[in-house]
Amino acid sequence: MKKVIIIGAGIGGLCTAIRLLNKGYKVTILEKENRVGGKVNLKEKNGFKFDLTASVLMTPDIYTKIFEEVGKDYKDYFELINLNLIYRVNYNDKSYLDIYSDTRKMINFLEDIQEGLSIEYFNLIMTSFKKYLISKKGFLDEPMIDINETLNLKSLQNLIYINPISSASRYISSKISNKKLREYFIFKSMYIGVNPYTNSNLYTLIPSISSMYGLWYIKGGMYKYISSLERLIKELKGEIKLNKEVSKVIIKNNNVIGVKCDNKIYESDIVICNADYPYAIKDLFEDNFKEFRYNKNNIDNKDYSCSVFIIYLGLNKKYENLKVHNIYINDNFRESIEAAFKGYIPKQPSLYIYSPSSIDESMCPKGCSVMNIIVRVPNLKFKDIKWDRKFIRAFRDKIILEVKNIKGLEDIDKNIVHESYLTPLDLKDKFNAYYGNAFGISHKLSQIGYMRPHIKSKTIKGLYFIGSSTHPGNGVSVIIDGSKIVSEVINNDNKE
């Protein structure tokens, strides 16, 4: 039985562990924190529960399939709730746009706004969704550790059809004539921390997936899924060791032989690194370690995704106007989006607001609400912003002022009973996120597919990687799928 050590109990580490345990490997996860989940985690205070970061659940079959693979019924672990109204998009003029997964509702809503708008909407959805299906089959579901996976006739034909060169904003503007709907699509296209005004139209697939598959919610919040994975690992006789921070990956004669943790060597045949890839390259390997296009000397020069600032609010009032997923778009829209990628804080930020208590009373005391207010901000590679107490307070006040512009939320500042924050510094210090980024190495075209950090080392036998900075990329569902790819590669490499 091959011994496997996984560094980190993030979503990638947990799912890879399950898939390898199911194949007969002996798996131990070493996690530096006192609970599993990594950035997909939970905050609790005075009866209020907050999902720490991840909140949007698309493609539910990806979440449930891992349970089916090991002969389990996911319904014995967590409850999925379908959201018919997937987004409420609020505007500065007190108007709003509702985005439904129900086709008939969506058509009626859009046609009431502008004749023919539903045709524009579904034309964009369908063309982007076709790009997604081609990308998934031809690139996202492939290991991408061999250049021939990219430079073959079929892949080149797919690239020509996808035509990813033009920006998301330009592509959307060519399809959607209504300003408010256009801004919704642009906002959603920066889901994985890319600038929609400069990065590929490929990322319009994100709002298209939401519309085609709908959005879902796990009762108890996203951390309920994490705790379900943890339970499944234990049922499969896997081992999770908490408060164990790995300090070095041990390599001998170009073979991985284990890791160093608490001045002790944990021996293994295979090491899977679920720590943030740039951090791992800089801190967990010897100075002469080189891996593909990424090494200690050039890792600083790579492009990184933006970061986030999150306000967690516990409120002693129910806000009926809030849905689970809410967006607030300001008049100064483009500046509010591009600021995060140009190194400054916008004068009037656009916001994403997550309020699971609108359908799940288990997230807060009776008669109350919880709310995560999320703003894209520059990562720490931009050094002009000092995330000290004074700056956080001033930025917080600016954000709350914008939230009060949303119809029905005018009194929100008077009903706050809990308030806390997450900053880029927290992402850096607690989760080793390089430059405090929130979405890994940037997903610009020159850093995806074969050009992204690989899931398998080309130089060290038995060394593999999983996480937001490696192929296939960021996003909970994408990383869950990534765990399937890496576990299959490992199994193929270790067939007797």
CA 62 – CA 43 distance, rounded (Å): 25
Secondary structure of 202-243 as H, E, C letters: HHHHHHHHHHHHCEEEECCCHHHHHHHHHHHHHHCCCEEECC
> According to the CATH classification, is domain 3-80+220-302+442-493 in 3.50.50.60?
yes
Say what the pLDDT of residue 292 is. Answer: 61
The model's pLDDT over 5-64, given as tens digits with 9 standing for 90+, comes to 999 999 999 999 999 999 999 999 999 999 999 999 999 999 999 999 999 999 999 999
pLDDT confidence tier of residue 106, bands split at 50, 70 and 90: very high
Q: What is the mean pLDDT of residues 279-303?
A: 85
Average pLDDT over the chain reads: 95
pTM for this predicted structure: 0.96
Domain ranges of the chain: 3-80+220-302+442-493
pLDDT confidence tier of residue 153, bands split at 50, 70 and 90: low
The model's pLDDT over 356-370, given as tens digits with 9 standing for 90+, comes to 999 999 999 999 999
Residue 400: alpha-carbon gap to chain centroid: 25
With a CB cutoff of 8 Å and minimum separation 6, the contacts of 325 are 55, 56, 83, 86, 87, 88, 215, 352, 353, 354
The model's pLDDT over 115-148, given as tens digits with 9 standing for 90+, comes to 999 999 999 999 999 999 999 998 899 999 988 8
Q: What is the mean pLDDT of residues 235-240?
A: 99
Task: Kindly write down the DSSP assignment for every residue of 404-438, as one continuous string.
Answer: TTSTT-TTGGGSEEEEEEE-HHHHHHHH--GGG-S
